[in-house]
Structure 1
Amino acid sequence: MRFVFRYSFIFLLPFLLPTIGAAAWWTSVERPASWRSADWGSSGLLSKQRDKDQPTIYIMAARTGGFKGAFAVHSWIVIKREDQDGYDRYDKLGWGSPIRKNNYAADAYWYSNKPSIIAKITGEEAKRLIPKVENAISAYRYSNAGDYTIWPGPNSNTFVADVLRNVPELNASLPPNAVGKDYLGDDTWFMRTSNNSDTYINLGGYIGFAFGRTVGFELQFMGQTIGLDIQKPAIKLPAFGRLELSKDAAL
């Protein structure tokens, strides 16, 4: 029994320490008292991107509201076609019709938290992939009213992660604090991408691991992730997110 406790503690420690640290940091961050007083307007982030005349796909994320913002981000997908001046934004939300199109500005603050660009695909590659992304959005199986569970999933991050797994050519993965990204489904514990680049094994969003070219190596526990990104060098930390190891990592 002592043996089991000791090694369980060793396994949990890398998850607990960053999570406790993030909770302590979050208590010092000024944030709105409720969603009513939060800023949901455009952050101006996409106005700085030079994509006016070319098709583009963005994967974006921002910390969520309340105390859970210490541990989790909300993610969404943004698409711009070649002949389109504006953007189309796709989120999964926990109220009403889950998959929302253009419910907010493409680069809007989320609960007053500034978004970041997780991945950007432009030009001919984006033009080729936009139909595949839209098909994956349409085919998402948890897209009905009531198909939302904040934890362990399916939630907003489950939706985006599912699109990324079904369109592996996007070559992108969500940050380690995108709680719900590891949820594969109630009846699924194993998935390999169609191009065999990545393998995912997870039990109900509670515990699992993933490895491959895009995700690197991840250990997943209770919605949080610890791991290493080889392709875009970074350490993946629970609650905090990515610790970039390359100055060229930022978009």
Structure 2
Amino acid sequence: MTVLKRLSIFVLLGLVLSGCSSSKDWRTASRESAGIAPDPSATNEAVLQVYGADAWGWRGWFAIHTWIAAKRTGDDAYTVFDVIGWRGRNGQPVMRITQDAPDRYWYGEKPRIIKEYRGAGVDRLIDAVEQAAREYPWKNQYTVFPGPNSNTFTAWIAKRVPELELNLPLSAIGKSYVE
């Protein structure tokens, strides 16, 4: 290998590695609503949304984090179905079903809708999603790769609720853990 090739590889490796350390701090990163979901107090219809956002830090170069948010007809709040690994380090289940903002920034990364349903028939989908979430077998386990992780959770629900017609993108690393 020529000296020029070695130097080029060294420079390229240095550039890649320098991008791995971020000046961002997860403790101060935005967790505010992105304003994507309809206001539950002004929207009577049922809403079910599947979100994805770039993963935290350098992992966001190639991976996303996914979750599901739902509001039944007439409800004035959203229920969020998600898995977050750090909860396990605190002795809590990594899977959670709770009322929360549906479209929070994922530690500074703006979420995007992967799939959305609104209106008639969506309450039945929400019931099926909730049932599948309650049957999720890895409520207390989390492994970034190959899973189970947040994308494994969303894929688990998609597999058990085929009427969602949800196909997660390639960047949803961990989605194949259930297949």
Q: Under a length normalisation based on structure 1, what TM-score does the superposition of the two structures give?
A: 0.58
The whole-number CA distance in structure 2 between the counterparts of 1:174 and 1:151 is: 16
Q: Over the residues paired in the alignment, what is the CA RMSD in angstroms?
A: 2.6
1:160-199, aligned counterparts within 5 Å?
160-184=154-178
Please say if 1:74 is aligned against 2:70.
no
**Structure with the larger RCO, 1 or 2 (CA within 8 Å, 6+ apart):** 2
Structure 1 residue runs of 4+, over 6 Å off?
none
Q: How many residues align?
A: 158
Q: Which amino acid aligns with 2:148?
A: P
Q: Which amino acid aligns with 1:81?
A: R
Please say if 1:63 is aligned against 2:59.
no
Cα displacement string for residues 180-211 of structure 1 (whole angstroms, at most 9, x for unaligned residues):
01112xxxxxxxxxxxxxxx5xxxxxxxxxxx
Corresponding position of 2:5: none
Please say if 1:54 is aligned against 2:45.
yes
Alignment gaps of 5+ in structure 1: 1-22, 185-199, 201-251
The whole-number CA distance in structure 2 between the counterparts of 1:123 and 1:103 is: 20
Alignment equivalent of 1:45, drawn from 24, 33, 36: 36
Higher alpha-carbon deviation: 109-118 or 32-41 = 32-41
Question: What is the DSSP-based 3-state SS (H/G/I as helix, E as strand, rest coil) of the residue aligned with 1:160?
Answer: helix
Name the structure with the higher helix share.
Answer: 2
Q: Which amino acid aligns with 1:177?
A: S
Question: What is the DSSP-based 3-state SS (H/G/I as helix, E as strand, rest coil) of the residue aligned with 2:175?
Answer: coil
The whole-number CA distance in structure 2 between the counterparts of 1:134 and 1:52 is: 21
Q: Under a length normalisation based on structure 2, what TM-score does the superposition of the two structures give?
A: 0.80
Please say if 1:108 is aligned against 2:109.
no
* Deviation of 1:103 (Å): 7.3
Larger Rg belongs to: 2
Name the structure with the higher strand share.
Answer: 1
Alignment gaps of 5+ in structure 2: 1-14
CA contact (8 A) 1:148 1:155 kept: yes
- State percent identity of aligned pairs: 38
The whole-number CA distance in structure 2 between the counterparts of 1:97 and 1:34 is: 24
1:201-220, aligned counterparts within 5 Å?
none
The whole-number CA distance in structure 2 between the counterparts of 1:103 and 1:54 is: 17
The whole-number CA distance in structure 2 between the counterparts of 1:128 and 1:99 is: 22
